[in-house]
Structure 1
Amino acid sequence: MRQPTGEQLVFHHSVFTETCKIPYGRVTSYGQIARRIYRPQNARQVGMSLKNLTTYTRFFDDPEFQNLPWWRVVNSQGVISKRERAEAVTEQATLLRREGVMVSERGGEYFIDLNEFGWFEDASDDSESSDESDD
């Protein structure tokens, strides 16, 4: 793999930073991460960024990225996306269950109830609002 461009590194860094914000025991979607980084059309690229996590994190000197909770990102229907390695799907379900997320299995797919376990805050919710008082 060749060296990513500066723009690609900014994108990956943004994806990883937002993924680190997903609370323990909650999940979000690839599309939600894309919206939070102001790239709403790039949900698939978010998935590719997380798929290639070990390749891209070596470009960043951020210890938080070493334990990035990739398993907290699912598709927009609350389904754990299929992988090239079937055991990776099972691993993701196991990691979510360890955090108390209820993962159901039907027809070889793993489902999470997004109404119960979803985290879909806007990026603006992260910033602290200023205290403005009328004097």
Structure 2
Amino acid sequence: MTAIREGAAASAPVWVVWVPSGRRALRRRGLDVTGELAVEAARLLRAEGAAVRAVHALRQRRGVADQAGLTAPQRAANLRGAIEVRAPVAGRRIVLVDDVVTTGASLSEAARALRAAGAEVVGAATVAMTPRRR
């Protein structure tokens, strides 16, 4: 997080943006776990002097199939075009947050949507990563 702290006072805050969950997953869990993680991470970073802001900038624009059991190419195809931007991100520096990385399809689709809207995705943070099957 050094990059977030360097020159923070001289520049706009880095936005911490989470990969959105689908409506069905949100109903099942009862809360937006990844959003909660991003908000708490931004709070802790601000307490350390970082210029960051958690922003709910993405949403799923259509339903997607459950990713469990899908191969990497199937996951990418399932998510292609499924995420859209819901906040003005043009010119913003963004760190993406996701809970678990399996193939990277969710992060890739979120980054695609943000870049298409004019944002600069400068990094990603996750809680866990599953081992890759060969």
TM band (smaller chain): under 0.3
Q: Which has the higher strand share?
A: 2
Q: Which has the higher helix share?
A: 1
Structure of greater Rg: 1
TM-score by length of 1: 0.26
